[in-house]
């Protein structure tokens, strides 16, 4: 019989990746084999790697289900205010590893898979990315769901289950080619269809007026089928729900209206309805007023509001007597993620007025207290403005409601500013210029009690410029909520070596309180820690217990977790170098600076400025090959919207420059250029931990916030960037001296807009810029098609809204400072540690806490729901404890409350033993 483990040995088996226990491993192996046999109907002789992935996914999912059900029971018992996050995009990426981390199962799963003779990394690579988003907005929604669960909020994500997500990008001969993202072709083990909650959504038709009020009739019906995905919090047994709607045609769809007598064609016409959830529109920061897009936007809000209303009515309070909607805003908070779900405002008014028969003023007051709106962009081409004609055809009743909302709004403005017709025109929900259109941002502002930008600089711009009239009218309505990222995915999952090293230095609590990273400042001058950070490794070991765990040399240290740790085999850059060499057949120098610029391809993000720097470096090497040069591997990646010609030309230019640079023997290993194909969440998890220099170089005042900048900062990359978006707050937290800041500020850009921007002036006075542009213009990088890049250079000279040339010289000078510091590894690493220590503000936990307390009126909790293996009484006791906590808080204010309000509070905290599972 084996001797019991000592405390030291137990400590070795415990990390932020979970416990490796004999019982855990045996149970996981048993579950794996059971799913392989009974769920997948396979044995080890015929099973494929994908079968093994599905078996593991179902095994991990088993550990979610009990917690998922228990969480919903807990919410029913405690009847908290529920938060509904409405978004047309949820860029979730992969789920398996994130779930293992949040449940504390990763080390145990690693050990079980190793004992089964399989490789965990290979299985993880089998999972398809859930790419239901274009970029930052959708990924932010995914991070928010993680934080809402981790903070114990009763929160739900609502969106569309697109059959095809963001397209797969192929680079062929330097050009972007789009391929459909058939992410569901092998099935999705994480979702659960809920046909019993299928709901009707109406389109078209006409409005009838009667004594009872307006009635929307003769509509076309599409059914919304919900698919639920569990969202686990970090180590708290809370599992929230993301509900995505899929469009289904009713059985009688089109059988009478179309192709009478043609049964086959009538069945085929069902696609007209089901196309609603077929594909994600691949546009980022660009509004395209297509009917199908408007159908998608209304489809998700109509189904979601029916679901919210059902849950409200079925709550413990609602089920005990007649429903009163007076308490609706106290029980329901709805956050609109940009204007895409803006139709929720007139839809809730329609439900209240037409169906629930509330009077208009009461319904409007409840609606405004329920909704809050997040703005994500100041680019005019991105703001949604739907044509009146399209709304009149597709949603006639909603157009009537919007008109009435606008009339009441303009009456208020007219009363305050009776002579200011220009202000009334500017603030109207209906725009007349260039055809009548509904300004959806104005609708969101008027219909919400809170409006926020996503970084301090962005929030100031929308208050003082974009929505200035509204801000002057209701300044208290406008707020800032700086974006954040979840440290679970963007540190623990993607950079386990660094995560473990930090835990050894300051403890594990930082995972749920990222502000504790400030403690690293005490170690900036600690030679041991500096060496460890610069040697953080990701190990692929023959034994999974130490795989992907940071190992450092044994040293005498005050930090006990540093002792007894193995050496590291391979660092993040070496690992990513191997990936690049395998995928792109380009030999990478892993000791070179990894200079990374990954995000959607757009003129305002200025990948062209980066490209000009590459050409400048290339020309300097060619001019003086023997001069000292800090080796660089420049990595650029991102997708261009399929209809965005200039973005596609930018990709072609970068790949053309890269082909010349990479093949030039004079350059050798000093400079390499890689264009990352099909940039997505799972690829970001590989490249971000390997990055030295993060490029965040948008024109000041154009990037609302950015979250990639935060991911790089947390993972130990230094930032070269403009004072734009969240870069400003990063510089405030870390100190501007610990970032590479260059270029015009917002006020400089505004002044240049007034004076006029003349690109030719910069071209003529900066020789290196002139040389680079002349090379691009003359066909140096595409000798077979010398005119290929004329559109690019013409744009740069004649209609560059984002002023690339104006910041070129300062950017090149700043890059020279980067080179200088990189040659001093100690000082570089000290700056890295300062940046990591300053990244605590940029946790999505902090962002969601701000939303919860300042917008939604709910309080995060660290209460841990009892796991499923504990008796039901434990859940009742936890619910009772939470009610008592709420009651204690409430009693502080009892002297100010009426008797009626006191009775309401008493009912809220009344104990109940009813078992109820409400999806």
Of 715, 843, 714, nearest in space to 147 by CA = 843
* 109 sits in which H/E element: helix 106-115
Cβ pair 636, 607 in contact under 8 A: yes
In angstroms, how far is CA 771 from the centroid of its own chain?
40
Q: Which of 67, 248, 376, 409 is catalytic?
A: 376
- Phi then psi dihedrals of residue 501, to 5 deg: -65, -40
Rg (CA), the chain: 29
Round to whole Å and give the CA distance between 129 and 165: 9
Residues 6+ positions from 605 with CB-CB distance below 8 Å: 599, 638, 697, 698, 703
How far, in Å, CA of 292 to CA of 277, rounded? 9
Torsion of CA 872, 875, 877, 880, to 10 degrees: -130
Task: Select which of 573, 575, 605, 639 is catalytic.
Answer: 605
Q: Which of 385, 477, 600, 680 is catalytic?
A: 600
Of 270, 350, 711, 803, the catalytic one is: 711
Given phi > 0 = left and psi -120 to 50 = alpha, else beta, which region is 725? left
Q: What's 843's DSSP letter? A: B
| C-beta separation of 508 from 16 below 8 A | yes
- Please tell me the distance from the alpha carbon of residue 688 to that of residue 679, in angstroms, as a whole number: 12
CB proximity list for 91: less than 8 A, separation 6 or greater: 130, 131, 132, 133, 134, 135, 138, 139, 141, 142, 166, 681
Q: How far is CA 527 from CA 80, 507, 713, in A?
A: 49, 19, 21
Per-residue H/E/C for 607-632: HHHHHHHHHHHHHHHHHCCCCCCCCE
Residue 39 a catalytic site member: no
Maximum distance among all alpha carbons in the chain? 92
Exposure letters 837-859 (e unless 16+ CB within 10 A, then b): bbbbbbbbbbbbbbbbeebbebb
The burial of 734, by beta-carbon neighbours within 10 Å (0-12 exposed, 13-18 middle, 19 or more buried), is given as: buried
Q: Which of 71, 377, 486, 707 is catalytic?
A: 707
- Cα 366 to Cα 331: distance, rounded to the nearest angstrom: 11
Q: Residue 170: enclosing H or E segment and its boundaries?
A: strand 168-172
> Quick check: is 707 catalytic?
yes
The residues that bridge with 90 in the sheet, in sequence order, are 132
Annotation says 799 is catalytic = no
Q: What spatial distance separates the first Cα and last Cα of the chain, rounded to whole Å?
A: 47
Question: Concatenated DSSP letters for 360-390?
Answer: HHHHHHHHHHHEEEE-----GGGS-EEEHHH
Extract the tokens encoding 821.
């510091």
Q: What is the 3-state secondary structure (H, E, C) of 181-236?
A: CCCCCCCCCCCEECHHHCEEEEECCEEEEECCEEEEECCEEEEEEEEEEEEECCCC
Q: Is 786 helix (H, G, I), strand (E, B) or coil?
A: coil
The alpha helices in 129-199, defined as continuous H runs, are: 136-150
Length of the chain: 919
What count of other Cβ atoms lies within 10 Å of the Cβ of residue 158? 27
639 has catalytic annotation = no
Nearest residue to 713 via CA among 681, 732, 688:
688
d(CA 804, CA 790): 16
652 is catalytic: no
Q: Determine whether 605 is an active site residue.
A: yes
Give the residues across from 333 on adjacent strands: 83
SS3 of 413, please?
A: helix
> From CA 625, how far away is CA 507, in angstroms rounded?
48
Structure tokens, 579: 């990936």
Which residues carry out catalysis? 376, 599-600, 605, 707, 711
């Amino acid at each position: 019989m084996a001797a019991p483990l000592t405390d030291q040995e137990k400590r070795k088996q415990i990390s932020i990746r979970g416990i490796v226990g004999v019982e855990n491993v045996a149970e996981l192996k048993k579950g794996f084999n059971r799913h392989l046999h009974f769920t997948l109907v396979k044995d080890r002789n015929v099973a494929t790697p994908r079968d093994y992935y599905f078996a593991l996914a179902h095994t991990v999912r088993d550990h979610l289900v009990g917690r998922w059900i228990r969480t919903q029971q807990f919410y029913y018992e405690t009847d908290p205010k529920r938060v509904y996050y409405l978004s047309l995009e949820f860029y979730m990426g992969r789920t398996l590893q994130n779930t293992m981390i949040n449940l504390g199962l990763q080390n145990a799963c690693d050990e079980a898979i190793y004992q089964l003779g399989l490789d965990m990394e290979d299985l993880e690579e089998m999972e398809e990315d859930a790419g239901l988003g274009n970029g930052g907005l959708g990924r932010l929604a995914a991070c928010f769901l993680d934080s809402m669960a981790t903070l114990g909020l009763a929160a739900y994500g609502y969106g569309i289950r697109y059959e095809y997500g963001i397209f797969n990008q192929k680079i062929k001969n330097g050009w972007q080619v789009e391929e459909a993202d058939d992410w569901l072709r092998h099935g999705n083990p994480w979702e659960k269809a809920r046909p019993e909650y299928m709901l009707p959504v109406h389109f078209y038709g006409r409005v009838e007026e009667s004594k009872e009020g307006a009635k929307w009739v003769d509509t076309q019906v599409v059914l919304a089928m919900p698919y639920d995905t569990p969202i686990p919090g970090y180590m708290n047994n809370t599992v929230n729900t993301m509900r995505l709607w899929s469009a289904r045609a009713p059985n009688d769809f089109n059988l009478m209206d179309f192709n009478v007598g043609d049964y086959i064609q009538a069945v085929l016409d069902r696609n007209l309805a089901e196309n609603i959830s077929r594909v994600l529109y691949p546009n980022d920061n660009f509004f395209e007023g297509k009917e199908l897009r408007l159908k998608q936007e209304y489809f998700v809000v109509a189904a979601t509001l029916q679901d919210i209303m059902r849950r409200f009515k079925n709550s413990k309070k609602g089920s005990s007597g007649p429903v009163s909607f007076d308490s609706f805003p106290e029980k329901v908070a709805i956050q609109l993620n940009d204007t895409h779900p803006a139709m929720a405002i007139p839809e809730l008014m329609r439900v209240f007025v037409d169906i629930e028969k509330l009077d208009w003023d009461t319904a409007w007051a409840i609606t405004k207290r329920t909704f809050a709106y997040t703005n994500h962009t100041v680019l005019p081409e991105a703001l949604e403005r739907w044509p009146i004609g399209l709304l009149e055809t597709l949603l006639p009743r909603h157009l009537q409601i919007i008109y009435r909302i606008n009339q009441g709004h303009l009456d208020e403005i007219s009363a305050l500013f009776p002579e200011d017709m220009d202000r009334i025109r500017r603030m109207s929900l209906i725009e007349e210029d260039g055809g009548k259109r509904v300004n959806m941002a104005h609708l969101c502002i008027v219909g919400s009690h809170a409006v926020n930008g996503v970084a301090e600089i962005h929030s100031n711009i929308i208050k003082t410029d974009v929505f200035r009239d509204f801000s002057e009218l209701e300044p208290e309505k406008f707020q800032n909520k700086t974006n954040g990222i979840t440290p679970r995915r963007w540190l623990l999952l993607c950079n386990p070596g660094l995560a473990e090293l930090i835990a050894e230095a300051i403890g594990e609590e930082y995972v749920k309180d990222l502000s504790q990273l400030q403690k690293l400042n005490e170690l900036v001058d600690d030679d041991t820690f500096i060496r460890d950070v610069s040697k953080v490794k990701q190990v692929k070991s023959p034994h999974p217990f130490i795989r992907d765990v940071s190992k450092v040399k044994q040293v005498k240290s005050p930090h006990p977790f540093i002792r007894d740790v193995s050496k590291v085999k391979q660092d993040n850059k070496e690992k990513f170098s191997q990936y690049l060499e395998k995928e792109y057949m380009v030999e990478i120098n892993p000791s070179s600076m990894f200079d990374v610029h990954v995000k959607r391809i757009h003129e305002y993000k200025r990948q062209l400025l980066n490209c000009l720097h590459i050409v400048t470096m290339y020309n300097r090497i060619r001019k003086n090959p023997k001069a000292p040069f800090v080796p660089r591997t420049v990595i650029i990646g991102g997708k261009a919207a399929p209809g965005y010609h200039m973005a596609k030309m930018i990709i072609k230019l970068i790949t053309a420059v890269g082909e010349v640079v990479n093949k030039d023997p004079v350059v050798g290993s000093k400079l390499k250029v890689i264009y990352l194909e099909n940039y997505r969440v799972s690829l970001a998890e590989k490249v971000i931990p390997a990055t030295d220099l993060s490029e965040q170089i948008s024109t000041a005042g154009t990037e609302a916030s950015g979250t990639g900048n935060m991911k790089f900062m947390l993972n130990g990359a230094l930032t070269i960037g403009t004072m734009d978006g969240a870069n400003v707050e990063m510089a405030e937290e870390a100190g501007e001296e610990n970032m590479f800041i260059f270029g015009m500020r917002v006020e400089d850009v505004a002044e240049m807009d007034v004076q006029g921007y003349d690109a030719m002036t910069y071209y003529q006075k900066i020789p290196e810029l002139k040389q680079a542009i002349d090379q691009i213009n003359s066909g140096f990088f595409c000798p077979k098609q010398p005119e290929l890049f004329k559109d690019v250079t013409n744009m740069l000279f004649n209609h560059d809204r984002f002023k690339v040339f104006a910041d070129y010289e300062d950017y090149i000078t700043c890059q020279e400072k980067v080179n200088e510091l990189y040659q001093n590894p100690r000082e570089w690493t000290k700056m890295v540690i300062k940046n990591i220590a300053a990244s605590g503000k940029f946790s999505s936990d902090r962002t969601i806490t701000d939303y919860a307390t300042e917008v939604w009126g709910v309080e995060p909790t660290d209460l841990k729901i009892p796991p499923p293996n504990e008796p039901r009484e434990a859940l009742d006791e936890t619910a009772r404890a939470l009610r008592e906590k709420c009651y204690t808080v409430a009693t502080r204010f009892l002297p100010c409350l009426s008797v009626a309000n006191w009775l309401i509070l008493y009912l809220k905290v009344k104990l109940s033993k009813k078992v109820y599972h409400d999806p």
